[in-house]
Chain A
Amino acid sequence: MFKKILIANRGEIAVRIMRTCRVLGIKTVAVYSEPDANAMHTQLADEAVSVGEASPLESYLVIDKIIAAAKETGADAIHPGYGFLSENPVFAETCEKNGIVFIGPSADSMRLMGDKVSARQIVTKAGAPVAPGMNSAGADVSAFKKLASEVGYPVLIKASAGGGGKGMRLVHAEAELEDALEAAQREARNAFADDRVFLEKFIVQPRHIEFQIIGDKSGNVTHLFERECSIQRRHQKIIEETPSPAVSEELREKMGESAILIAKAGGYYSTGTVEFLLDKDDKYYFLEMNTRLQVEHPITELVTGLDLVSEQIRIAAGENLSPEVLNATQRGHAFECRIYAEDAENKFFPSSGTLMRYVEPCGPGVRVDSGVRENDIVGIDYDPILSKLITFGANREESRLRMIDALERYTILGLKTSMHYMLDILQKSEFISGEIHTGFIEEVMSENGTETGDLSDSKLVSAAALAAVALESGTRFADTSANEDGFSVPTPWQSGSGWRIGEAE
């Protein structure tokens, strides 16, 4: 087993990985950028190495700096977390070349499954379902038109590389196709320096159902059931759950088998996720494979009782899948809400500030994976995720009610969060009955977030009363605090000279 693991990440996921290392008796090394010098993940590690300035391009994404930090501290393995370098095959190869074990899949699997066209080819060859469409990238308009009329409009033009909705175009009719094709190619070229695009039938109102895959280096692969991630805002998952209310035992078995086939065809080991779209007739189609630990992995941990990071570490060290993994069962129901520092009343702009009050909820079936503490300064250099709130219950309703209570008891003061918006979603009748799909937010919620006008007079009076009581208690937080620590992260309320939001002419 490894003696020391470097965690090439920050925030909640770095903290979460360190906790497992501690339990396994493995020493940890943190890397940190300048604004993260006093961050929770930096302080929690046994050792910490500075890797540069705030911009990820100067710090968390610089392969040479991460490798140098591992060598300097004698780390024998690196866990990349999610995001940053986690799906970068060059990073995985550089680790191995330097005699450091990369905790994740092989660089070859990442390359095969990370490219959408090659993944489609592998999945088709393996005999698992993909949405009708092209199995190679093309540029010939007539070929696109021919195929589109065969599979039927609407169709989706997608970039082979990258993700995040870039280079993606929805086409409703043949007249739009040529322009859409050119636009998708242009966007893909600009975003990924790769203008390969392909066409796929657009699945209307699908659910997003993904399967947790786990495999060892001896070729054993199994799945750890599904997660439903249909509650998304602009391709960004915000609430996840398992089991999915739409997946029957029979369907689960079928989809799980497909997921295993796909992972095996990609020569996959470690943890990974096979994403599917599920339509109203219980037909499912391969969407993509994520070759890393997912943000939403804790809900799988709660219903299976497994520690996925611990399993990843064992697999990387060469162990075969344990009997606990091979015989895993699904029990109860889990939800996850991603707590973002963003302003749900103002187009979900990132919000920054000092965490003047920060109290996490606790109680039966409540887990909080967080990377911040009270008094921390949250800047705007990184992904705005503060924490993940995860609840477990004997059934879906118990888990949902625990989530509502936990959100209500989660106190975060000093910046804006999406918690109130989550509470709205959790209480919609469509959500309660499990009738959800990836268009839920657009259909049921206001796209721009919570309306500002819904603060009643009586609530304003109660809020003012609380504000006045807090004023009496005497503790006053500074509006400025960042600069004395050498931070480059300003917050809107750190200006002593009267910064006022939203008051421009």
Chain B
Amino acid sequence: MGTHRLRYQDAELTVTVKKSDGRFVVTVDGQEVIVTKKGDGYVVANGSNDSHGDAAVSKSRAFVTLDSQLIEFELAGADAVSSGSDGGQSGEKDKLRAPMPGKIVKILVENGVAVTAKQALVVIESMKMENQLLSPSDGIVKAVHFEAGDQVDADTVIIELEVDEE
């Protein structure tokens, strides 16, 4: 089975999973943990500690509950699926859209600049919190439709990119 990379705050963890005898033998940065399906969720045996939990994953994140504490990881490496690559709904690699209504705090790039995938392009404020919007792919900025201070609706295209389609 596979190797996965997960980010939690500043830490990046490398995790490998092997299945044997109906259990999962999982190695997290060299530390071995046994995960067993039990009832509605899983039991994680880590040294002398047993904890109970469950997990679900979206295309960009993993949500874990462990002894009722919630822990969220960001997926890195091959697991981080962009919405375009597996038949997702929008599949646009050349447009950065506002994921929720909000106010543009800062535009971090200008027309004609080359950007890389996941590079921060825009800072937006929604629900009283500032968040970065990251580039959907490598490319060159073709158009910037808004400036700092503008209000945008969900799904509005903020930046368009010139993307080299293979």
Contact = CB atoms under 8 A, between A and B. Distances in A.
Contacts of A468: 4, 6, 15-17, 26, 28
B133 A499 contact: yes
B112 interface: no
A380 B82 CA distance: 25
B70 interface: yes
B64 to A, nearest CB: 4
Contact of B154 (A357, A488, A496): A488
Interface stretch (A93-101, A168-176, A390-398, A457-465): A457-465
Nearest to A404: B68
A462 B129 contact: no
B56 A356 contact: yes
Contacts of A410: 68
Contact of B83 (A416, A423, A479, A488): A479
A452 to B, nearest CB: 9
**Which of the four size classes fits the interface of chain A?**
35 or more
Interface stretch (A5-13, A150-158, A216-224, A470-478): A470-478
A499 to B, nearest CB: 5
Contacts of A499: 60, 99, 131, 133-134
Contacts of A498: 60, 82, 118, 133-136
B88 A496 contact: yes
Given A408-B52, A465-B28, A483 B57 contact: no
B63 A459 contact: no
A411 B128 contact: no
B123 interface: yes
A497 B121 CA distance: 11
Contacts of A23: none
Contacts of A465: 15, 24, 26, 28, 33, 35, 44, 46
A112 B123 CA distance: 50
Interface in B66-107: 66-71, 73-75, 79, 81-84, 88-91, 96-97, 99-101, 105-106
Given A455-B69, A463-B66, A469 B90 contact: no
A504 B60 contact: no
A494 interface: yes
Nearest to A461: B28
Contacts of B149: none
A478 B86 CA distance: 10
B73 A462 contact: no
B31 to A, nearest CB: 5
B99 A470 contact: no
Nearest to B23: A469
A480 B64 CA distance: 19
A383 to B, nearest CB: 15
Nearest to B26: A465
Contact of A413 (B4, B63, B88): B63
B99 A458 contact: no
A359 interface: yes
B54 A411 contact: yes
Nearest to A417: B70
A483 B89 contact: yes
Nearest to A487: B154
Contacts of B89: 478, 480-481, 483-484, 496
B137 to A, nearest CB: 9
A352 B56 CA distance: 16
A190 interface: no
Nearest to B46: A462
A504 B123 contact: yes
Contact of B57 (A458, A464, A471, A497): A471
B97 A497 contact: yes
A181 B53 CA distance: 52
B22 interface: no
B39 to A, nearest CB: 9
Contact of B13 (A407, A464, A497): A464
A462 B127 contact: no
Given A458-B46, A464-B6, A500-B131, A357 B56 contact: yes
A161 to B, nearest CB: 27
Contacts of A52: none
A212 B106 CA distance: 53
A425 interface: no
A372 to B, nearest CB: 15
Interface centre among A480, A491, A498, A503 (most CB of B within 10 A): A498
A494 B63 CA distance: 14
B109 interface: no
B111 interface: no
B146 interface: no
A420 interface: yes
A462 B51 contact: yes
A26 B152 CA distance: 46
Contact of B62 (A460, A467, A494, A502): A467
Given A466-B54, A468-B16, A505-B123, 8 more contacts: A380-B127, A460-B13, A466-B64, A468-B15, A477-B57, A495-B97, A496-B82, A497-B99
Interface of A: 349-350, 354, 356-357, 359, 380, 407-414, 416-417, 419-420, 423, 455, 458-472, 475-481, 483-484, 488, 490-505
In order of increasing CB-CB distance, the 5 nearest A-B pairs are A496-B83, A495-B99, A504-B130, A498-B134, A356-B56
7 contacts: A420-B68, A464-B13, A467-B6, A469-B42, A478-B88, A488-B154, A499-B133
